[in-house]
A and B are shown apart, each in its own frame.
Chain A
Amino acid sequence: MSKEKKMRLTLPEEELVGSGNLACQGCGANLALRYVLKAFGKRTAICIPACCWAVIDGAFPHSCLGIPVYHCAFETAASTATGVKAGLEMVGDTETQVIAWAGDGGTFDIGIQALSGTAERNDDILYVCYDNEAYMNTGIQRSSATPLGAWTTTTPVKFPKDRPKKDIDAIMAAHRIPYQATASIAYPEDLYKKALKAKNTRGTKFIHIYAPCPTGWKSRPEDTVKLARLAVQTCLFPLYEVEHGEKYTLNIKVQNKKPIEEYIKLQGRYRHLKPEAAAAIQEGIDRDWERLLKKVNAG
């Protein structure tokens, strides 16, 4: 017998996202769904509203996914998923899990009412927001998930985004749903674990996945994972879980916060940024991080 070491996979091998789909090079959203479906498996139905994934999946009559897909209206990911779950149960399928899979525009902006309704009723679905911080599918227009100081086609360099990103996770926590988490495509094992936890929790689950977009961020496709990791290491996008809106758990405990410049300099959307504007971004990150630590310590 040879003493060759067998490679141990940290994630299931099964792929439910087909290759050769319509994602851009270096698409973070593509990785996000790959990892989530590794946890959820084949007995899953997904509702996709208008967002990048409405295109990535492929045009009629094609689909790159190995699960049933319902392409729904922009603001209806949550309400459609609620209906699908109810419908499946009424035709005798209590096993299939339902995912609403929306971008940040479909979640933070146009779909927030339906999402709030679903969460308040605690309907048994997983809602995932893959966040690339603007309306990327329509050509990089600002959303309420676009961060302070960023360029988009509707926040030109002469007047970049002048308000901070909406705190969607705090809004979801206010709904006291059984489980919610932030996750990142740079931490696949953490993301997988969270998806699995969501799969085994009944009621409304919400996972907010940080998904860099080279096309919209004017970054290099090969930097997608690096950027997502830097977002965590700078504490711009901390990874944590919340149970019932109260119990906060920090998953990656960052000891030495990296300066935000390291993250900013890799992206064309911040090229116009003056040093004082970058300092304001750093201040915002520090303040939000302290606020989060308080919640974690209180739990």
Chain B
Amino acid sequence: MKKVIMGNHALSYGAMLSRSQVISAYPITPQTQVVELLSEMCADGTLQAKFIKVESEHSAMASCIGASVAGARTFTATSAQGLALMHEMLHWASGGRLPIVMGNINRAMAPGWSIWTDQNDSLSQRDTGWMQFYCSSNQEVLDTTIQAFKIAETAGIPAMVVLDAFALSHTYEVVDIPDQAKVDAFLPSYKPYARLTPDAPCAFDGLTGPEHYFELRYKLQKDMEKVPALFNETSREFEKIFGRRLEAVEPYLCDDAEIILVTSGTAGFTARVAVDEMRKDGIKVGNLRIRMFRPFPFDDVRRLLAKVPKIAVLDRNISYGYHGIFCQEVKSALNGSGSKSPVFGFIAGLGGRDITVASFREVVDITRGQSTPAEEINWIGVKK
């Protein structure tokens, strides 16, 4: 059934169709509609789930962890300060190997208070052991949520579905909401490897000495490394059932490109429009949108970028004292691959300043004008 819905509601529908059993959440702008719709669905019985209305995001993730270890499929959603407050529990969820799925609406971190988009909230959680998927459309938000449960439960790793504040969360688009039967065929009920039950009493996540801890972390990394293949496998399965393909990275007119614009989130779709316009002007430019940030799709990025003459990475985030975070990752992926392509780093759109087609034209102008980057960071649209 096709419906015009906002990005936040695409998350709610994704969680509902995935038959989430326990939802625990705390309100934060711009996430509120996600949990408002889910609480309605729980109240009217559309979704057979328990909705725990907690007193903080920290408790939201703690109760998701409790529900998940009891064997229930578990969902929450948050943003910015809320995600930061959860930080300790994000480690707990991944360390406990609990396949919780969370929507995070990208919102800039305070101070000053900002409710507008940038990616520093989710990227600050890079090393917590969560998978991260960045979306560019409402359809993708819904599809990714369903796919995230499948991957999370297979890998035993929690997953974050990430979308831009307002640019996606509050933007209405046509979304094909799949039939429940199809989703059930794709995503069977959650069968945990082990769970908290008096029928087989054991202790989970207790004191772990140096003789065991290291191996637990080694196994988490090894399972993370299997995710790219798992992602492709579930994508193929998803396409068979729903007719839509989800890629870890999405190349657009990259084959003959002289410059590839690397982007993520909604800026990725703006980049496509910019690519189309610049192609009309005879500029050979392509776009690579990175959807899966953790685990980082090294092989795909190397394969698609290694031979292009120039790479321009646009980040809506910053690692202070270094530069854009996607730019770091791209450089790190190409290092050792034999690629000699210069990587140009751009930062734009912090705190929700618009990233437009003109922004990408500026990016391409700078990249074309220099043989190697003159600056570590090229700032787009900043009032210096």
Mark A residues whose CB is within 8 Å of B.
42-45, 47, 54-55, 57-63, 65-73, 75-76, 78-91, 93, 96, 113-114, 116-117, 120-121, 123
Instruction: Contacts A76-B62, A84-B67 given; indicate if A59 touches B207 (C-beta within 8 A).
Output: yes
CA distance A165 to B302 in the complex (A): 61
- 8 residue pairs of the A-B complex, CB under 8 angstroms, read A45-B197, A63-B206, A70-B196, A86-B70, A87-B68, A87-B70, A87-B74, A88-B196
B202→A69 contact, CB < 8 A? yes
Q: Does B282 contact A (CB under 8 A)?
A: no
Contacts of B72 in A (CB 8 A): 86-88, 90-91
List of B residues within 8 angstroms of A62 by Cβ:
203
- Ranked nearest first, the 7 interchain pairs of A and B with the lowest CB-CB distance are A83-B66, A87-B70, A83-B63, A87-B67, A117-B55, A63-B203, A76-B62
For B243, the chain A residues whose CB sits under 8 A away are none
A174 CB to nearest chain B CB (Å): 15
CB-CB under 8 A from A76, the residues of chain B are 58-59, 62, 65, 89
Determine if A47 and B197 form an interchain contact, defined as CB atoms under 8 angstroms apart.
no
Distance between Cα atoms of A44 and B111 in the complex (Å): 45
Closest to A123 in B: B52
Q: Given the known A-B contacts A79-B66, A82-B52, are A70 and B204 also in contact in the complex, defined by CB atoms under 8 Å?
A: yes
Whether A87 contacts B206 in the complex (CB less than 8 A), given A76-B58, A80-B65, A117-B56, comes out as no
**Contacting pair A67 B198 (CB below 8 A):** yes
Give A44 to B92 CA distance when docked, in angstroms: 23
Alpha-carbon gap, A54 to B348, bound state (A): 47
Q: Which residues of A contact B89 (CB under 8 A)?
A: 73, 76
Contact, CB under 8 Å: B52 / A83: yes
Q: Tell me which of A42, A55, A59, A86 contacts B67 (CB under 8 A).
A: A86
Could you mark each residue 72-86 of chain B with 1 if its beta carbon is under 8 Å from any beta carbon of chain A, else 0? Answer: 101000000000000
Measured in the bound complex, the distance between the Cα atoms of B198 and A78 in whole Å is: 19
Do A54 and B69 touch across chains, with their CB atoms under 8 A apart? no
**Given contacts A59-B209, A116-B55, is CB(A65)–CB(B65) below 8 Å?**
no
Given A63-B202, A88-B70, 17 more pairs with CB closer than 8 A? A42-B201, A63-B201, A66-B201, A69-B201, A69-B206, A71-B207, A72-B62, A76-B58, A78-B59, A79-B58, A79-B63, A80-B63, A84-B196, A86-B50, A86-B66, A86-B72, A87-B66
Given contacts A60-B208, A87-B71, A91-B21, contact A114 B55 (CB under 8 A): yes
Task: Indicate which residue in B88, B202, B212 contacts A68 across the interface (CB closer than 8 Å).
Answer: B202
Q: Are A54 and B201 in contact (CB under 8 A)?
A: no
User: Which of chain B's residues 181-211 have a Cβ closer than 8 Å to chain A?
Assistant: 195-198, 200-209
B7-38 residues with Cβ-Cβ distance < 8 A to A are 21-22, 24
Chain A min CB distance to B326 (Å): 31
Partner of B63, one of A69, A82, A116: A82
* A79 in contact with B70 given A91-B21, A93-B197 (CB within 8 Å): no
Q: What's the Cα separation between A117 and B55 when bound, in Å?
A: 6
Q: Is B163 an interface residue (CB 8 A)?
A: no
Q: Is the beta-carbon distance between A57 and B203 smaller than 8 angstroms?
A: yes
Q: Please name the residue on chain A nearest to B92 by beta carbon.
A: A73
Cross-chain contact B56 with A81 (CB below 8 angstroms): no
A211 to B223, CA, bound (A): 43
B67/A90 in contact, CB under 8 A: yes
CA distance A42 to B200 in the complex (A): 11
- A59 to B288 Cα, complex, angstroms: 47
**Minimal beta-carbon separation of B49 from chain A (angstroms):** 7
Nearest A-chain residue to B26, judged by Cβ: A117
Contact A59 B208 (CB under 8 A): yes
Shortest beta-carbon distance from A100 to chain B in Å: 10
Q: Does B209 contact A86, Cβ atoms closer than 8 Å?
A: no
Instruction: Indicate whether B53 reaches chain A with its CB closer than 8 angstroms.
Output: yes
Could you tell me if A47 and B202 are in contact, using CB atoms closer than 8 angstroms? Answer: no
Residue among B92, B198, B212 with the highest chain A CB neighbour number at 10 A:
B198
B207 adjacent to A114 (CB under 8 Å): no
Residues from chain A with Cβ under 8 Å of B123 in the complex = none
Q: State the Cβ distance, A274 to closest chain B Cβ, in Å.
A: 41
- Rounded to whole angstroms, the CA-CA distance of A72 and B92 in the bound complex is 8
Given A44-B198, A83-B24, CB of A54 within 8 Å of CB of B62: no
B271 at the interface (CB under 8 A from A): no
B253 contacts which chain A residues (CB < 8 A)? none
Q: Take A73-B92, A76-B62 as given contacts and tell me if A83 and B206 are in contact as well, using a CB distance cutoff of 8 Å.
A: no
Cβ 8 A contact of B88, one of A73, A83, A116: A73
A99 CB to nearest B CB, Å: 12
B56 near A113 with CB under 8 A, answer: yes
Q: Does B333 contact A (CB under 8 A)?
A: no
Which residues of chain A are near B88, meaning CB under 8 Å? 73
Nearest CB of chain B from residue A20's CB, rounded to whole Å: 16
> For B202, what are the chain A residues with a Cβ–Cβ distance below 8 Å?
63, 68-69
Q: Are B65 and A83 in contact (CB under 8 A)?
A: yes
Contacts of B196 in A (CB 8 A): 45, 68, 70, 84, 87-88
Q: Is the CB of B204 within 8 A of A80?
A: no
Give min CB distance, B67 to chain A, whole Å.
3
Q: When chains A and B are docked, how far (Å) is the Cα of A91 from the Cα of B68?
A: 10
Flag if A89 contacts B56 (CB, 8 Å): no
Find out whether the CB atom of B66 lies under 8 angstroms from the CB atom of A81.
yes
Q: Smallest CB-CB separation from A74: which chain B residue? A: B88
Question: For the complex, what is the distance from the CA of A229 to the CA of B196, rounded to whole Å?
Answer: 36
Q: How far is the CA of A71 from the CA of B207 in the complex (A)?
A: 8
Contacts of A86 in B (CB 8 A): 22, 24, 50, 52, 63, 66-67, 70, 72
Contacts of A67 in B (CB 8 A): 198, 201
Determine the distance from Cα of A114 to Cα of B202 in the docked complex, in whole angstroms.
25
Closest chain A CB from B61 CB (angstroms): 9
Interface centre among B21, B62, B64, B208 (most CB of A within 10 A): B62
Set of chain B residues within 8 Å of A44, measured between Cβ atoms:
198
Q: B67 touching A117 by the CB < 8 A rule?
A: no
